[in-house]
Amino acid sequence: MPGDIEKVGVLIIGAGPTGLGAATRVNQHGHKDWLIIDQADDAGGLACTDTTPEGFLFDMGGHVIFSHYQYFDELIDAAVGSGPDFWNTLERVSYVWIKDRWVAYPFQNNVSALPKEDQIKCLIGLADAKVANAVAQTKPKNFDEWIERVMGAGIADMFMRPYNFKVWAVPPKKMQCEWLGERVATVDITRAISNVINNKEDAGWGPNAVFRFPLEGGTGAIWKGVAKLLPKENQRYGPKNQVTGIDKDAQVVTLQDGKKIQYDALISTLPLDIMMTWLGQKKQADVLTHSSSHIIGIGIRGQCPHGLKCWLYFPEDDCPFYRTTVFSHYAKKNCPADDVKMRTVCLGDGSETPDSKEESGPYWSLMFEVSESYCKPVNRESGKFAGGTWDGLVKETIQGALNTKLISGSDQIVSIYHRRLEHGYPTPSVERDGVLVDALPFLRQYNIWSRGRFGSYKYEVGNQDHSLMLGVECADNVLFGAKELTLNHPNIVNAKKNMELLYSKTFHASHN
């Protein structure tokens, strides 16, 4: 090989949770010959946090910290600090906005909050589904069939189908149902009927009913902290480190600035569809589908009117977003200090405020998520709005917030944020597993381990804790041939009682 090609034992592409997990594990094993690169200026990947010029923080989606792994818990405590001086512990208070009212989440347990005619439709559908499911001879062929078989037609048509289309940007018929695990609540018909009769709110379901969040810096602070635990000389950041090509036979990566790195083993968190296209496997790459994510944030002057609400769901078409996070509730420092003065950008009804003067807070914030795909386009028209050039989606989002009573027409919006992520969610499509069973072994022939939210394309193990452990276990596989539990057995991993029995590695133990 030419002399100007850098050589490294383990090259890691991407400093998100997976890449940092791999780097942490390689470093813990005392392996010195490794390097992690990322085109961003800081660590974090899709789990980073942006700050607006006005000082409002926004994550790249509704991230919360819920863990299946002791290793993950110990590592992020080492990175951020441990206890209430560093973390808020919060209850996940979730509601669905539907029929011009808030319905506690999960929706299927709380149809008692709906108008009587809708309650009847939902309960009849549940009864029909229970009977049909009892005599069914086959498993559901796709997510849409699973929805109707488990929830019944009433809940399916009123909430599950429209909401999931807004989330995934593809019809549920195009999705498999093996990914579900603990992510979607099933329904207890007896409980649902009892809640209707007793007019009872029944909230609080979910594996992350209680979660924690950093007191400052947003989710991105966690991953910056993890990076700081690693040797600086083994990390490189910035646009010049963008990967532009991979020669699988020579085991060489080419970067944006023209530099080349030869590796013995490559741990890549690049999207698998991009990787396979580069390596001449476009037919397989084209089968993998994803949605893009638009993260839109607004900072508002005043007191938050939404109490303890955290995650809010929106299945109807009166707004472009499917989920809103009251991001100011997660941590006080997600907003500027109360005494910071700033001008009003516009009012909640979109009207301009050209004569606004600088005023102090307090402040609160909302973060919206909008999906986009080939079958669910978004409004990208640009134009003048409230004194600035905003695209149509931002304008629609503010109007949607007004329609759904998240804000009032007189609210003073002082900051607006918008970022588009091309790869937002990997779609668990019906065809996905047929690609993965060939693609990942194909890459391994060339000493490439493709892992992470998009590297292995498994949404069911795509949370931050999963993603970190995909990297940790991958590093063990690279160095020692160890089994990768998270990648290969998502259902086992997602049953926490199984993890306590089957997975004994801890972050601190690896130092001893």
**For residue range 450-488, what is the model confidence (pLDDT) as tens digits?**
999 999 999 999 999 999 999 999 999 999 999 999 999
Whether the pLDDT of residue 160 is over 90: the answer is yes
Distance CA 159, CA 184 (A): 13
- The whole-model pTM stands at 0.92
> Which are the contacts of 99, defined by CB distance < 8 A and separation ≥ 6?
114, 115, 118
| pLDDT value of position 145 | 92
| Cβ pair 281, 464 in contact under 8 A | no
| pLDDT value of position 467 | 97
| pLDDT value of position 330 | 96
* pLDDT per residue as tens digits for the range 263-314: 999 999 999 999 999 999 999 999 999 999 999 999 999 999 999 999 999 9
Whether the pLDDT of residue 216 is over 50: the answer is yes
Q: Answer whether CATH 3.50.50.60 is correct for domain 6-48+217-289+428-511.
A: yes
SS3 157: helix
Distance CA 248, CA 240 (A): 21
Question: Whole-number mean pLDDT of the chain?
Answer: 91
Whether the pLDDT of residue 188 is over 80: the answer is no
Confidence at 385, pLDDT banded by 50, 70, 90:
low
* pLDDT per residue as tens digits for the range 173-186: 999 988 875 445 55
Cα dist. 43→15, 46, 397, 479 in Å?
A: 5, 10, 29, 24
Cα dist. 494→37, 70, 217, 258, 461 in Å?
A: 30, 13, 28, 42, 8
Domain ranges of the chain: 6-48+217-289+428-511, 109-198, 291-426
Confidence at 354, pLDDT banded by 50, 70, 90:
confident
Cα dist. 155→134, 171, 386 in Å?
A: 19, 16, 39
Q: H helices then E strands: how many in the chain?
A: 16, 21
Confidence at 512, pLDDT banded by 50, 70, 90:
very low
